[in-house]
Amino acid sequence: MCGFIGMFKNDALLTLEDKHDIEKMSALISHRGPDQNACVFHAHAGFGFRRLSIIDLSGGDQPYVSPDGRYTSVYNGEVYNYLELRDDLIKKGEKLYAASVVVLLHL
């Protein structure tokens, strides 16, 4: 089962120590997903994600950053109509970077 962690600082920027803490928190949940470990940092927030690949073994990496770099998402769950949603987004001209994950940031 995948796992994710995060830190948000409303009134301050993330420090180098905060970034190290996020990486340590991600390491603590390594048992949740051995297939991918990734951390993303923004000015006020950081996310870590551990992935257990079940569907789309070669794609679907997270955290997902929107094409313009403004938004970051971590998601653990199942979107049961993802194929239909994915096809609709492609028909609208969206470029998706994974076969199985409908990236909610595109919606």
- Of 1, 2, 51, 75, the active-site residue reads 2
Q: Domain map of the chain by residue range? A: 3-106
Q: Taking 90 as the threshold, does the pLDDT of residue 63 lie above it?
A: no
Query: In the predicted model, what is the mean pLDDT of residues 84-106?
Result: 72
Q: How far apart are the first and last CA of the chain?
A: 25
- The verdict on whether 2 is a catalytic residue reads yes
CATH tag, 3-106: 3.60.20.10
pTM for this entry? 0.71
Mean predicted confidence (pLDDT) in 53-79: 74
Q: In what order do the strands lie in the sheet with 45-51?
A: 3-8, 45-51, 36-41
Q: Does the structure show a pLDDT above 70 at 22? A: yes
- The angle at the Cα of 90, spanning 88 to 95, to the nearest 5 degrees, equals 140
* pLDDT at position 73: 77
Give residue 90's pLDDT.
Answer: 86
